[in-house]
């Protein structure tokens, strides 16, 4: 038979119950006797029905769930680890050191409000809350918790509008450090994800055939793909190889191209070392170029739009950029200018003979503009 009691000067009620003859004690974290008795009955009901009892749940802290999440991402080789670590930085500022059971829906709403006051966009906050949801899901799966709080989400505009015009791109290109300019050019042309570009190695490049491939399993959607290099990008990669060779021959003057690729396997590098992140350099360059607030993912949208405008079919554009579903074009709000002109032409043909009140002559149009 269980019981409720108080410890010392504590105002919270504790409960004691038995499972398989073993005594268990835990705090109810409530000062209300009726609520404490309800929790005790709930525990005894769980025992009677054979459900798991987790008396340790009140001692699980945020850091433990965060460590479990990072371990899960590393074990499974997930490519969004950097994004998760960035989200955890903000979550720790609010919940670090807290017992997980104190992270209630009310506390989560307070976090959302705080992040909005800090200037974070709704989409950014939602991605951070996605990380929190995953933390709780793993805790439930490992039976560290029996339940998780309701985690509300904010409304967000799912239509992406950030694009680089050619002028914007050239300004940003010149503002970036030299080691990042080839990366920007590659992203602007093909719209590949940052991890795909930074992880590109010479064993996937055939400069003679002018091709670059990504092996299955090395991309976000786990599908491999091959692209044909433009003349500009083929020359750019040749210069990248020459730059790597210049570094290697300082120590090994007779190094072959194969040996260079073995010493510096990364196509894009910084003085022979891999580039892991360039967030700070990106922010600085955007400020210098007058493009504050632009993000690297804008290259992905820009590449798709440029390909469609150039007359490349959506299917081929998706193969090049690595988009898996057609919905990306809806979210990016991409419409071919050729499609719009064709639509206007068809509308004009359908309305032939209907008075529009619009003059046909160039002179008349000029008069209207001057009078307006």
Q: Are 122 and 155 in contact (CB under 8 A)?
A: yes
Is 262 a residue whose pLDDT tops 50?
A: yes
* Kind plus residue range of the DSSP H or E element containing 230: none
Range in 21-25, 196-200, 296-300 with the lowest mean pLDDT? 21-25
| 185 contacts 233 by C-beta, under 8 angstroms | yes
Instruction: Strands of 69-204 (E only): list them.
Output: none
Whole-angstrom Cα Rg for the chain: 29
CA distance 109 to 131: 15
For range 82-94, the mean pLDDT: 92
Contacts of 88 (CB under 8 A, 6+ apart): 66, 69, 70, 131
DSSP 354: S
Q: What is the pLDDT of residue 55?
A: 53
**pLDDT tier at 161 (50, 70, 90 boundaries)?**
low
Q: Are 212 and 226 in contact (CB under 8 A)?
A: yes
* Beta strand residue intervals within 106-171, DSSP E: none
pLDDT of residue 16: 87
Domain 166-331 of CATH type 3.40.50.150: no
**Rounded Cα–Cα distance for residues 60 and 137 (Å):** 14
**Contact present, 5 and 14 (Cβ < 8 Å):** yes
| Cα→Cα distances 214→60, 190, 241, Å | 41, 13, 18
Q: Kindly report the average pLDDT of the chain as a whole number.
A: 83
**What whole-number distance in Å separates Cα of residue 164 and Cα of residue 155?**
26
Band of residue 368 on the pLDDT scale cut at 50, 70, 90? very low
Range 170-173 contact pairs with CB under 8 angstroms and sequence separation of 24 or more: 171/289, 171/290, 171/291, 172/285, 172/286, 172/289, 172/291, 172/294
List of residues 6+ apart from 271 with CB closer than 8 A: 179, 247
Contact 281, 176 (CB under 8 A): yes
Q: Are strands 205-206 and 211-214 parallel, antiparallel or unpaired?
A: antiparallel
Q: Which residues pair with 270 in a beta bridge?
A: 273
Q: How confident is the model at residue 20 (pLDDT cuts 50, 70, 90)?
A: confident
The pTM of the whole model exceeds 0.85: no
pLDDT of residue 52: 56
Is the predicted pLDDT of residue 77 greater than 70, yes or no?
yes
């Amino acid at each position: 038979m269980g019981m409720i009691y108080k410890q010392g000067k504590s105002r919270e009620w504790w409960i004691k119950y038995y499972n398989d003859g073993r005594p268990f004690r835990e705090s109810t974290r409530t000062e209300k006797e009726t609520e404490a008795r309800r929790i005790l009955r709930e525990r005894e009901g769980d025992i009677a029905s054979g459900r798991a009892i987790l008396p340790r749940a009140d001692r699980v802290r945020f850091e433990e769930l965060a460590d479990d999440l990072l371990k899960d991402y590393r074990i499974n080789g997930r490519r969004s680890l950097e994004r998760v670590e960035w989200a955890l930085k903000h979550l720790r500022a609010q919940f670090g050191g807290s017992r997980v059971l104190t992270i209630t829906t009310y506390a989560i709403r307070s976090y959302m409000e705080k992040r909005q006051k800090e200037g974070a966009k709704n989409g950014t906050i939602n991605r951070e809350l996605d990380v929190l949801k995953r933390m709780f899901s793993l805790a439930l799966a490992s039976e560290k918790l029996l339940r998780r709080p309701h985690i509300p989400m904010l409304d967000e505009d799912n239509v992406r509008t950030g694009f680089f015009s050619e002028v914007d791109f050239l300004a940003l290109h010149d503002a970036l450090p030299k080691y990042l300019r080839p990366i920007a050019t590659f992203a602007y042309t093909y719209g590949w994800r940052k991890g795909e570009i930074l992880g590109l190695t010479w064993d996937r490049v055939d400069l003679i055939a002018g091709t670059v491939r990504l092996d299955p399993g090395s991309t976000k959607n786990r599908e491999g793909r091959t692209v044909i290099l433009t003349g500009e990008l083929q020359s750019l990669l040749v210069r990248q190889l020459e730059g790597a060779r210049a570094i290697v021959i300082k120590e090994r003057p007779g190094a072959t191209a194969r040996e260079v690729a073995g010493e510096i396997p990364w196509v894009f590098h910084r003085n022979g070392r891999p580039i892991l992140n360039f967030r700070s350099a990106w922010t600085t360059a955007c400020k210098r170029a007058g493009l504050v607030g632009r993000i690297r993912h804008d290259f992905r949208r820009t590449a798709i739009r440029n390909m469609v405008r150039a007359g490349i079919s959506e299917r081929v554009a998706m193969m090049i950029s690595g988009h898996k579903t057609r919905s990306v074009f809806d979210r990016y709000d991409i419409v071919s200018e050729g499609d719009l002109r064709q639509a206007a032409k068809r509308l004009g043909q359908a309305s032939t003979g209907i008075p529009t009140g619009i003059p046909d002559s160039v002179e008349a149009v000029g008069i209207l503009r001057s009078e307006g």
